[in-house]
Amino acid sequence: MTQLAQESGNCPLCGTATSHLVLIKDDYPLVRCTGCSLIYVCPMPTPEAIRAHYQDPAYFAGAAEQGYADYDAMQKALAPHFARRLAVLARALPQRGRLLDVGCAAGFFLQQARADGWQIAGVELAREMADQAAARLQIPIARTLAELGPGQFDAITLWEVIEHVPDPVAFLQALAARLQPGGVLMLSTPNTAHWQAQRAPEQWISYRPPAHLIYFTQPTLCAAVGRANLDVQQVWPTFPLPPIPMWVQPLSRPLAAKLGSGELEPGRAWQAGLWLWRSVRVGAWGWQRIAHPRDDIFATLELLARRPPAG
Ligand SMILES: [Zn+2]
């Protein structure tokens, strides 16, 4: 933890040149900035290497640990989370308007947003996903922000995207320029204050270079959004992930798969399994409150920011 990283690459958030090594994951050094505590991959992969990573079809389908196990099967599981986020957006902008989802993948969120009354647009770097979203939504999906064409939006969303971007401040600034004055930006990202990221970093599921390049906590996320001249309205943690005993994990996998695809049948055995699983989670959480009362158990951060109104 005391080792200084190579001098190549200043902190993408505050520009400080010195950092401590946190972990080497799959040959990528992850370092913590001595100035602002941001954790980031150092040195950053080249833009060419990053682009190539997302053109691999295995990123979204197949067994690749780097991406998503089977994105289609996730639609049902994601729906309630997207509905909750749409409710937050609706409170911030009751009149709705134009919404841009950046990193829209197969378009599941945009599909729900349109049903909720928004006029939708999407950006997706991965070609296969962009094609899927375009077919699903019957709208053109831009590959990059630059390809999107002119125009501003009332709301911009990015779900689990900002951690993939090597220069998050410049990226947020570009998004802020695409927001109407008074428009809102809402995002989610892994919470690197989570106990596992801090105490057992080699096990933390979201230390995933080169997909994830920047690892935020509430303070560093707010700082990045603030540097894009957006006013943070609210930032909150979600998805509790307490320490589950190792021996339970293989037993819970079939149940998790059923829950993930939203296909848990009403049979007694599955329902009993579900309640047992919930009890294990509550028990693990209770034990953690006693053993490590300062642990942060939330796996994800969500944030809502607003572009200051004109004048
Ligand atoms: Zn820094």
Q: From ligand 1's centre to the CA of 224, what distance in Å?
A: 10
Q: From ligand 1's centre to the CA of 189, what distance in Å?
A: 18
Answer whether the bond into residue 140 is a cis peptide, omega within 30°: no
8 Å CB contact between 307 and 176: yes
pLDDT in tens, 207-230: 999 999 999 999 999 999 999 999
Would you tell me how many other CB atoms lie within 10 Å of the CB of residue 42? 23
| 200 and 268 co-located in one domain | no
| 147 and 252 co-located in one domain | no
| 96 and 203 co-located in one domain | yes
User: What's the distance, CA 133 to chain centroid?
Assistant: 19
| 207 and 273 co-located in one domain | no
| 271 and 222 co-located in one domain | no
| 121 and 153 co-located in one domain | yes
Asked if residue 29 is part of any domain, the answer here is no
| 227 and 110 co-located in one domain | yes
Confidence of residue 62 (pLDDT cuts 50, 70, 90): very low
Q: From ligand 1's centre to the CA of 132, what distance in Å?
A: 37
Asked if residue 211 is part of any domain, the answer here is yes
- CA 216 to CA 5: how far, in whole Å? 19
- CA 196 to CA 157: how far, in whole Å? 27
Ion ligand 1, residues whose Cβ is below 5 A away: 11, 13-14, 16, 33, 35-36, 38
Q: From ligand 1's centre to the CA of 162, what distance in Å?
A: 16
pLDDT in tens, 117-130: 999 999 999 888 99
Q: C-alpha angle with apex 253: 252 to 255, nearest 5 degrees?
A: 70
Q: From ligand 1's centre to the CA of 125, what distance in Å?
A: 27
Burial of residue 280 (number of CB atoms within 10 Å: 0-12, 13-18, 19+)? middle
Element (H, E) at 50: helix 47-54
* Domain, as residue range, for 285: 248-291
Its pTM stands at: 0.87
pLDDT at 19 over 90: yes
Domain of residue 190, CATH code: 3.40.50.150
- CA 208 to CA 211: how far, in whole Å? 6
Asked if residue 214 is part of any domain, the answer here is yes
Confidence of residue 180 (pLDDT cuts 50, 70, 90): very high
Asked if residue 20 is part of any domain, the answer here is no
Strand order in the sheet with 98-102: 119-123, 98-102, 153-159, 179-190, 298-306, 231-240
Q: From ligand 1's centre to the CA of 204, what distance in Å?
A: 21
Q: Which residue type does 76 have?
A: K
Quickly tell me which residue has 């902190």 as its tokens. Answer: 11
Compare 63 and 68 and report the one with higher pLDDT. Answer: 68
| 188 and 254 co-located in one domain | no
Total domains, the chain: 2
pLDDT in tens, 67-86: 455 666 678 888 999 999 99
